[in-house]
Structure 1
Amino acid sequence: MTTSNTCPITGASAEDPLPFPFDPPTAIAPPEEWTQLREQCPVAYVRTPQEDALLLTRYEDVKTLLSDPRFPRSPQDEETAKAGSSPGSGSSINMIGAEHMRWRRLLSKSFTAKRMQAMRPHIRQLTDELIDDMIADGNSADLRTALGFPLPVYVICDLLGVPAEDRDKFAHWSDHFLNLTRYEQSDVEQAMSELDDYLSAHVQLKREQPGDDLLSELTSIADEDDGRLSQQELVDTGKGLLIAGHETTANMIGKMAAMLLSRRERWEELLADPSLVPAAVEESLRFDANLGFAMHRWVSEEIQISDTTIKPNSMVLSAIPAANRDERAFENADEMDFSRGPNPHLTFGAGPHSCLGQSLARVELATVLSALLERLPTLDLAVGEDELERRQGLLVGGLEEVPVRW
């Protein structure tokens, strides 16, 4: 896998790798290993529940892995590819090179930051309705189930033109698609099959009876050079938007609130100056130590990273939240600072595979945070930080509950 031998700080080696993921002190705090590895072992041997790999923890190394074409999402040789394949790995979600760039060019004609900003009033309306329900039920709630979980799926269903009565189905499919340990493989495959069938029929309906939703627009958009999106590309686009637009944002809403409320001075700073909300969203994204499993890539050719030679067809993991706390890239990286700027965190990835849904995520997070500050200024965590529990096995990271009171 590499010419390096043993990590000087941990003693980990190819024969005796570190267990990964690491155990953090609390559900929203970073594990101690990140600092150790960044300083003395930036390319470390680790053993995940699925396989052995190399782990990168420094900002520049992780950014390279995410953006360099020599780190494809799939291995190059057939034997390794078969062993490393996963549900959905053959779909256009995992396209690379020219094929992927064509897909992004077509999609970007409609999925613009301006369009996402135009959704803000509707997102605020949905947010206020959910907060109304919270207030009607008393002076406490689980913020994840009351607001964080339902809001993004409502938004993504509206984007796709999905009827309100089908929102629960999308929530069910999304949970199965992104949870690595909660469900049996057969259950995950069944959920993915159901989602594929639903979206195939839904795309065909939008072709025949278009509305004013994003998916209807995508069925008709075409380009002189790139043609138009195929049926399978539209289905996979709907699938990708569900993943980017539901579970990731749903869990980030709860984590953002927990990070801000766990240190009361952070919340008070935003109450005193609501104009800091966009910066607080960016800093929460950077500061998030609970991003779930690391992003994986394969090495297509021998490459040198941080004085370590990595051989072709090696599995390499990027610890994005560790990179986001690298002092080489961020001054006082372990402090949440709403005046930080620029803030080039890697939470949405980097390069040609950076998250296409990041504009929508930012709008949702900023809208939710502004609404909570305005509607519930006395909001507070109902438990201590050490009582918060991580959601286990979730690819995108999250908290089981975010108990709050006001």
Structure 2
Amino acid sequence: MSSESSDQVLDYPLRAPSALEPPAEWDRLRQGCPVAHVRLPSGDKAVLLTRYNDVRQVLSDPRFSRNLAQDGAARITTNEGGSVFENPEAASLAGGESHQRWRRLINRAFTVKRIQALQTKIETMANHLVDEMVKKGPPADLVSDFAFPLPVWVIADLLGIAVTDREKLAYWSNAMLTMTQFTQEEVNQAQMEFAHFLMGHIAAKRANPGDDLLSELITATDKEDVLTERELIMTAQGILVAGHETTSNMIGKMMSMLLSDRSRWERLLANPSLIRTAVEESLRFDANMGFGLPRFISEDTEVAGQPLPRGTTVICSMSSANRDESFFEGASEMKLDRTPNAHITFGAGAHSCLGQALARTELQTTLQVLLKRLPTLDLAVKPEELPRREGLLVGGIEKVLVRW
């Protein structure tokens, strides 16, 4: 792409040929226009970063705010209330000392011990879902039969929420991740119902604490670090939305990547010790991660040698950064044994994903169980026919039909 094309304004998100392939523009932008001007679904303008080092720089810089509720920040969506990025109450936890304090508390709750204890339950849940699939017989939809219910069960278990509520939880989290799929009225209604549900759930936990993360946060002994009611609701909401939606989608995408070229699946069957690196490579190779992470620049700065004035909204494309040939050798190839693999799928810096250890455990356990239980697993449709999920901030595949 020539330098004069930096004046061109692209419609964002960029279109891709299929659910597993990257937009054609990524290569051109990384090579010739690493700071590109884009138009968001709302019609507002922003700047798109596509190179690894630039994305990492912005995500790691504490001066760049996650809070898009500020004056001058671009709106992501056409909804008046905006997206999950434009929620002013969530923004109160998004920066400064309050964020550090909140993150310290949540980190304390996301212990290695808790995740190890969950691992056994995840395996049991995964095996139960495979039993149900086998009972019904092929073809099965890996999304609705496996990838969707598993993380909801895990998050519900983590927060001590009854599994019977998982359909409602999924609807609410979709509404909070909308770009174009829901009306403003539907988003407002979902947020109100979600908050009301969580208020009742928190009250029940306060009266009768259990062995779950929410009870632990409520009964925190360090009185200076006790979360307020509003912070508890925002935390539970954040864990539910981030922990279920992204992992559900990633299971569907990971399995589609591995089965779209079945030699990858065969290699894992022959050598299950590659499961850990295969999960990391699936996270890196994912071309359909979704919107990316927006940041609002609060002071004049420079990225990739170009000045970015205060008040600019920047979209960081981790998917494109993870395909940067200048950082990853053979970036356009899926190498199941790639090591090291410093992908930035979970972000970088002070705001990197708190639940990444849990997500990795779910993805690794998924592979272990499916390789063992359904070794003949295969896609029942052509890879290019896999239907992309539309209208949400996170990327995914609507349906992954498989046989065995």
Interval containing the TM-score (normalised by the shorter chain): over 0.9
Partner of 1:370: 368
Q: Distance in 1 between matches of 2:150 and 2:99?
A: 29
Q: 1:43 aligns with which of 35, 58, 66?
A: 35
The CA deviation at 1:92 is: 3.9
Amino acid at match of 2:324: D
Q: Shift in Å at residue 49 of structure 1?
A: 1.2
SS for the counterpart of 1:119 is helix
Distance in 2 (alpha carbons) for counterparts of 1:117 and 1:396: 27
Aligned equivalent of 2:330:
332
> What secondary structure, in the 3-state scheme, does the structure 2 residue paired with 1:355 have?
coil
Please name the residue that 1:195 is paired with.
Answer: 194
Alignment correspondent of 1:137:
136
Question: C-alpha distance in 1, partners of 2:319/2:38?
Answer: 17
Q: More displaced, 161-170 or 32-41?
A: 161-170
**Partner in structure 1 of residue 5 of structure 2:** 11
Give TM-score scaled by structure 1 length.
0.94
Aligned to 1:86: 82
Instruction: State whether residues 143 and 248 of structure 2, in contact with CA within 8 Å, keep that contact through their aligned partners in structure 1.
Output: yes
Two-structure CA RMSD over aligned residues (Å): 1.7
The answer as to whether partners of 1:87 and 1:189 remain within 8 angstroms in 2 is no
- 8 A contact 2:83–2:178 mirrored in 1: no
**Cα deviation code 1:293-316 (max 9, x no counterpart):** 121111111111112101010111
Report matched runs for 1:181-330 at 5 Å. Answer: 181-223=180-222, 226-330=224-328
> How far apart, CA to CA, are the structure 2 residues paired with 1:136 and 1:275?
29
State whether residues 278 and 366 of structure 1, in contact with CA within 8 Å, keep that contact through their aligned partners in structure 2: yes
Give distance in 2, aligned partners of 1:220 and 1:328. Answer: 48
Residue of structure 2 in register with 1:151 after alignment: 150
Deviation at 1:74, TM superposition (A): 2.5
Letter in 2 for 1:293: F
| Matched residue type, 2:282 | S
Change (3 A) 1:10 1:333: farther
1:73 paired residue among 55, 61, 66: 66
Q: How far off its partner does 1:189 sit?
A: 1.2
Share of identical aligned residues, percent? 50
Q: Does the C-alpha gap of structure 1 residues 87 and 340 become closer, same or farther in structure 2, counting only changes over 3 Å? A: closer
**Deviation for aligned residue 1:112:** 1.9
Please say if residues 9 and 36 of structure 1, whose CA atoms lie closer than 8 Å, have aligned partners that are also in contact.
no
Structure 2, unaligned stretches of length 5 or more? none
Listed one character per residue, the Cα deviations across residues 279-334 of structure 1 (whole Å, up to 9, x for unaligned) are 11110000000011121111111111112101010111111100001122211111
Partner of 2:125: 126
Q: Is the 8 A contact 2:59 2:348 kept in 1?
A: yes
- Indicate if the aligned counterparts of 2:284 and 2:343 stay in contact, CA closer than 8 A: yes
Instruction: Kindly indicate whether the alpha-carbon contact (under 8 Å) linking 2:36 and 2:47 is maintained by their aligned counterparts in 1.
Output: yes
Q: For residues 187-227 of structure 1, give each alpha carbon's deviation from its aligned partner in whole angstroms, at most 9, with x where no partner exists.
A: 01111111111111111211110011111111111437x42
Looking at structure 1, the residues matched to 89 and 53 of structure 2 have their Cα atoms a distance apart, in angstroms, of 29
Aligned partners of 2:346 and 2:356 also within 8 Å: yes
Could you say which residue in structure 2 is the equivalent of 1:4? none
Per-residue deviation, 1:343: 1.1
Moved more, 342-351 or 162-171: 162-171
Equivalence for 2:385: 387
Q: Counterpart of 2:168?
A: 169
User: For the residues of structure 1 that align with 2:95 and 2:282, how far apart are their CA atoms?
Assistant: 30
Matched residues in 1 for 2:298 and 2:310: separation? Answer: 5
* SS of equivalent to 2:196: helix
Tell me, in whole angstroms, the C-alpha distance in 2 between the residues paired with 1:246 and 1:9.
Answer: 41
**1:29 corresponds to:** 21
Alpha-carbon distance between aligned partners in 1 of 2:82 and 2:98, rounded to the nearest angstrom: 20
Offset at 1:260?
0.4
Letter paired with 1:160? L
1:131-189 CA-to-partner distances (Å, cap 9, x unmatched) read 11111111210100000111111111111111122222112211222132111111011
C-alpha contact 1:120 1:364 (8 A) present in aligned 2: yes
Deviation at 1:12, TM superposition (A): 4.5
Q: Is the Cα–Cα contact under 8 Å of residues 324 and 345 in structure 1 kept in the other structure?
A: yes
Alpha-carbon offset, residue 352 of structure 1: 0.9
Contact 2:73 2:296 in 1 (8 A): no
Read off the aligned partner of 1:191 and give its amino acid letter: A
Distance in 1 separating the partners of 2:158 and 2:305: 46
Task: Name the aligned partner's letter for residue 261 of structure 2.
Answer: R
- Quick one: distance in 2 between partners of 1:376 and 1:66? 39
- Report how far residue 10 of structure 1 moved: 7.5
